[in-house]
Amino acid sequence: MKKLLIATCTVASLWFAGNAFAAEEAAAAPEVDMETLNLLQESACLNCHNLTPREKVETDANGLPFGPPYLLVAHRYHDTPEAFDNLLNTIRQGSNPYSKHWKEESAGIAMPPMITVSDDNLKKLLTWILNLDEAKAAAAEAALAPKAEDAKTD
């Protein structure tokens, strides 16, 4: 009887510990807006851009990604809401190859105009990008990771 009680207590405490852990994890990882993340991927943005500076998707001979990581884009422009329209124009019309904003973080090509993406979707994507912080970018990257694995085994 005593043994059974101990076993029950152990199971109960494991259950509590597990739940507490899950709750902690949920609090640590913000929910990912999968709709926008999928849109970003379908719009080819992630062919040239990474979410965080650590992991590189596409590189040139210098080892730098084509475009700046979105977390750095957010850091640079998050507190200047007036930059929004200029950035939207850059995505729509492409970047000016003579005025590189991202010399250190990208390979040095210009960004081509993203003409296949609707204006509404561009606004949605840009808003999402500019609101990234470390936790959101890491959570979104983690949500993308299994997809990358799937693609490899196809």
Q: How far is CA 37 from CA 45, 77, 144, in A?
A: 10, 20, 8
Tokens of 110: 């210009």
Q: Is 145 one of the binding residues for ligand HEC (CB under 6 A)?
A: no
Return d(Cα 48, Cα 66) in angstroms, integer: 5
Sign of CA dihedral 77, 120, 115, 86: negative
- Choices 3-11, 23-31, 87-95, 144-152 (CB under 6 A): range interacting with ligand HEC: 87-95
Site string for ligand HEC, 94-123 (x = CB under 6 A): -x----xxx---x--x-xx-x--x------
Question: Residue 51's CB: how many other CB atoms inside 10 A?
Answer: 25
Q: Is 129 one of the binding residues for ligand HEC (CB under 6 A)?
A: yes
Of the two residues 25 and 104, which places its CB atom closer to ligand HEC in the complex?
104
Residues in contact with ligand HEC by the rule CB under 6 A: 43-45, 47-49, 66-68, 73, 87, 90-91, 95, 100-102, 106, 109, 111-112, 114, 117, 125-126, 129
